Structure 1
Amino acid sequence: MTSRISVLCIDALEPRVVADFWCRVLDWRIREEADGGITIGPSDPALPGIDVFPVPERKTLKNRLHLDLRADGSTTEEELRRLLELGATRVDVGQPPDVTWTVLADPEGNEFCLLQRTVQDL
């Protein structure tokens, strides 16, 4: 027997802002809202989702866990432009200048990476 990832959790001062951002990035939908938290995920409820829960404190340190994304159906450059238009920002977490990924943050500063190779390149 093994365990299976059910959901990832993101803390947020404004859960709606963060949940809406990730829904647009991933083309997901809101699955449930309860007790101030919002669960988002793909249309298949058997696949893992993301819980966004309210916390009173602002994020101050680099994430110890983050998401890595790949462009799917577009180029990496097009996807980077789209993510920035959705509200992502470029961030420096100490990565060398010649890395093959771009480090970004969601509207509350949670880091994630856009990898160079697209889904179609794999």
Structure 2
Amino acid sequence: MHLIVSQLSIDAADPTALARWWSRVLGWTVTDEEGDGEEVELAPADGSATGWLFLRVPDERRVKNRLHPDLRPPDGSDQATELVRLLELGATPVDVGQQDVTWHVLADPEGNEFCLLRSTPADLARAQAGPGEQPTG
């Protein structure tokens, strides 16, 4: 029997603000917002992914994340469109030494890195179904 991932916990200076920001990015719902703002949970309304739990911590982030989300543009959109949207929401470009790659490294308002990949789910499915090169980003 295997373990089940209950949620991904993310340290935050302001859990409420960060959960609301990610809610706009992912289109997910803030499902549990503890009254004192110490813990705020975010999850997709349809339960299609593991939820994220934002926890208040007193210390500042000092180094590059050891774990980060890779986000894929939804079908019907593309990387360039989503990049503009993310930047308008307040994401910032980050250089972590990635050099010449097909994805964009960005940071949320608290500096947590994430990547915006190039291919959509349909692009990825087509590449995996047929012969040829699979997209890497």
> Normalising by structure 1, what TM-score?
0.93
Please list the CA deviations of residues 10-55 of structure 1 after superposition, one character each: whole Å capped at 9, or x if unmatched.
Answer: 1111111210111001100111122511000011347410000101
Task: Supply the RMSD in Å over aligned alpha carbons.
Answer: 1.3
What is the CA-CA distance between 1:105 and the residue it aligns to? 0.4
Residue of structure 1 in register with 2:112 after alignment: 110
Q: Which runs of 5+ in 1 are unaligned?
A: none
Larger RCO, structures 1/2 (Cα 8 Å, 6+ apart): 1
1:16 aligned partner: 16
Note if contact 2:31-2:41 (Cα within 8 Å) is conserved in structure 1: yes
Q: Please say if 1:77 is aligned against 2:71.
A: no
**Larger proportion of strand:** 1
Letter in 2 for 1:81: V
Greater displacement, 42-51 / 62-71: 42-51
| Runs of 5+ consecutive residues of structure 2 not aligned to the other structure | 125-137
Following TM superposition, the consecutive aligned residue runs of length 4 or more in structure 1 with deviations greater than 3 angstroms are none
CA distance in structure 2 between the partners assigned to 1:29 and 1:87 by the alignment? 19
Preserved contact between residue 33 and residue 41 of structure 2 (Cα < 8 Å): yes
Larger radius of gyration: 2
Task: Give aligned pairs, total.
Answer: 121
The reply on whether 1:86 has 2:92 as its aligned counterpart is no
C-alpha distance in 2, partners of 1:90/1:18?
17
Q: 8 Å contact 1:10–1:53 — kept in the other structure?
A: yes
Q: Which amino acid aligns with 2:81?
A: E
Question: Whole-Å Cα distance in 1 between the matches of residues 70 and 63 of structure 2?
Answer: 18
Separation in 1 of the partners of 2:108 and 2:84? Answer: 14
C-alpha contact (below 8 Å) 2:79/2:118 kept by paired residues: yes
